[in-house]
Amino acid sequence: MFVIREKFFSIGGDFDVLDEHGTKVFHVDGKVLSVRDKVVIEDASGQEVATLHRHLVSLRPTYEIRIGGEKAAEVRKKLFTPFREKFTIDVPGPDDLEMKGNLLDHEYVIERGGEEVAAVSKRWLTIRDTYAVQITAGVKPLLIIGAVLALDLALERDKEKKESSD
Each residue of 135-161: pLDDT tens digit? 998 888 999 999 888 887 777 766 666
| pTM of the model as a whole | 0.82
Which residues partner with 74 through β-bridges?
64, 90
Does the structure show a pLDDT above 70 at 104?
A: no
Superfamily in which the 2-161 domain is placed by CATH? LURP1-related (2.40.160.200)
For 108, residues 6+ apart whose C-beta sits below 8 A from its C-beta are: 85, 99, 100, 101, 102, 119, 120, 121, 148, 151
Distance between CA atoms of 17 and 126, rounded to whole angstroms?
Answer: 16
Q: Are 98 and 90 in contact (CB under 8 A)?
A: no
What are the extents of the domains in the chain? 2-161
